Amino acid sequence: MIETNDLWFSYGDREVLKGVNFKAKQSEVTVIMGRNGAGKTTLLLHLNGLLKPKKGEVRLNGTKVEYDKKSLFELRKRVALVFQNPDDQIIAPTVWEEVAFGPMNAGLSLENVEKALKLVGLEGYEDRLCGQLSGGEKKRLSIADAIAMDPDFVILDEPTAGLDQLGFDSTVELILRLKKLGKGVVVATHDFELAERVGDSFYYIEAGKIVYEGNRPNYELAKKLGIRSYGGKIIISSNAERSGEPTFRLNWNSRDELAEKILEAILKAYNGKDVVLVFEDGFIEKVRRALGELK
Ligand SMILES: Nc1ncnc2c1ncn2[C@@H]1O[C@H](COP(=O)(O)OP(=O)(O)OP(=O)(O)O)[C@@H](O)[C@H]1O
Ligand SMILES: [Mg+2]
């Protein structure tokens, strides 16, 4: 487990973290949400010792983090941080050199380099120049950097910002795979769709204070805090009177699948996207019949 106890931090005299108590466990995904400037990144930077608390402490598996070279080195082997912007992280010329850099420096075996590339879907990219990768590929490369250290915790700062649907889906899959491998994953995000798909526990941070902790996102509070932009529309249409390309087709083969699609649609709209739900022919009839059955 990684935890912070009564963590205080300021940049100069600007207080940014004000007594943060936070916990993340292995084999779980812990999500941190909050408005721009709330202190998410600042908190993450403490989890692998890049920032030193002004007051309070960080503990890894019960042991208090000290800020000498040796314990920081140990901490960073166990806790890998992936930056919000991959360009802040990528330093080597080629993909292979980039992913091998961390393990090589830490005196670890290089057997994880290939595994990490495979896990993020960049196998075959070994000799490519990092500077020539697409935004989404850079993002995956920066995650491979972290995985190649075989850490206990992977900390992801806004992992889906700027990704398209495909990039989003593969990031979700990757996070769930890391969790299955027993890693603790910590994700800072504004994206409720991501939060719902991967999160086991949720923290909201506002002006440097934890204002919510739970095993479900709290949408009412999120709205009050203004964590996300709103305004996406849900457009409901039938096959006959199509309106736009469907985001989801609704059918009645399985109630679970239907419920899942509707929840996904609501989350997309909540995140500010327009969503078109298209009824398959006969859908309304089926709903009527099903409601009749329920009566
Ligand atoms: N190096 C720095 N020097 C001075 N102030 C900083 C520095 N880094 C961050 N801040 C300030 O600290 C506050 C918290 O920033 P932080 O980056 O932790 O927020 P965040 O929740 O990650 O925001 P975002 O959602 O925009 O990424 C902000 O007001 C920011 O301007
Ligand atoms: Mg941030």
Same domain membership, residue 214 and residue 171 = yes
The response to whether residue 17 sits with its C-beta less than 6 Å from ligand 1 reads no
Residues 256, 176 share a domain:
no
- Report in angstroms the alpha-carbon separations of 3 from 79, 121, 231: 12, 31, 36
Say how far apart CA 266 and CA 174 lie, in whole Å.
23
**Tens of pLDDT, residues 70-99:** 999 999 999 999 998 999 999 999 999 999
Residue 2 has pLDDT above 60, yes or no: yes
Residue 293 makes CB contacts below 8 A (sequence gap 6+) with: none
The ligand minimizing its distance to the Cα of 42 is 1
Q: 225, 259, 284: which is the final residue of a domain?
A: 225
Answer yes or no: is the C-beta of 14 below 6 A from any ligand 1 atom: yes
Q: What is the pTM of this model?
A: 0.84
Residues 88, 105: one domain?
yes
**H helices of 24-89, where?**
40-47, 69-78
pLDDT band of residue 275 (cuts 50, 70, 90) is confident
Tokens 């595994």: give the residue.
Answer: 115
Same domain for 174 and 50: yes
Mark whether 175 and 241 lie in a shared domain.
no
Q: Quick check: CB of 39 below 6 Å from ligand 1?
A: yes
Residue bearing the CA closest to ligand 1, atom 16: 39
Residues 206 and 274 in one domain: no
Among 225, 243, 275, the domain boundary falls at 225
Mean pLDDT of all residues belonging to the chain? 89
Q: What is the percent of the chain where pLDDT is above 70?
A: 93
Task: Mark whether 7 and 72 lie in a shared domain.
Answer: yes
- Judge contact between 156 and 143, C-beta under 8 A: yes
> Which CATH number belongs to the domain containing residue 62 in this structure?
3.40.50.300
Residue 69: CB within 6 Å of ligand 1?
no
Is the minimum distance from the CB of 254 to ligand 1 under 6 angstroms? no
Q: 251 with 209, same domain?
A: no
Per-residue pLDDT averaged across 224-232, rounded?
Answer: 72
What pLDDT, on the 0 to 100 scale, is given for residue 49?
Answer: 95
Q: Which residues contact 267 (CB under 8 A, 6 or more apart)?
A: 192, 193, 196
**Residue spans of beta strands (DSSP E) within the chain:** 2-11, 14-24, 29-33, 55-60, 63-64, 79-82, 153-157, 184-188, 201-206, 209-214, 234-238, 248-250, 275-279
**Domain end: 170, 196, 225, which one?**
225
Residues 93 and 192 in one domain: yes
Q: Are residues 140 and 284 in the same domain?
A: no
Exposure class string for 180-197: b at 16+ Cβ within 10 A, else e: eeebbbbbbbbbbbbbbb
Q: For residues 246 and 180, what is the distance between their CA atoms, to the nearest angstrom?
A: 33
pLDDT value, residue 242 = 63
45 CA distance to ligand 2 centroid (A)? 10
Helix (H) or strand (E) holding 221: helix 219-225
Ligand 1 pocket: which of 8, 15, 32, 42 to mutate (most atoms <8 Å of CB)? 42
**Token digits of residue 203:** 């923290």
What's the structural domain count of the chain? 2
pLDDT value of position 283: 73
Same domain? For 117 and 255 the reply is no
Contact between 178 and 185 under an 8 Å Cβ cutoff? The reply is: yes
- Residue pLDDT, tens place only, 137-187: 999 999 999 999 999 999 999 998 888 888 888 999 999 999 999 999 999
- Other Cβ atoms within 10 Å of 61 Cβ, number: 10
- pLDDT category, 229, cuts 50, 70, 90? low
Distance (Å) from CA 38 to ligand 2 centroid: 8
User: 206 with 239, same domain?
Assistant: no
Residue 293 beta carbon below 6 angstroms from any ligand 1 atom: no
Q: In angstroms, what is the span from residue 274 Cα to ligand 1's centroid?
A: 30
By residue range, what is the domain housing residue 277? Answer: 234-294
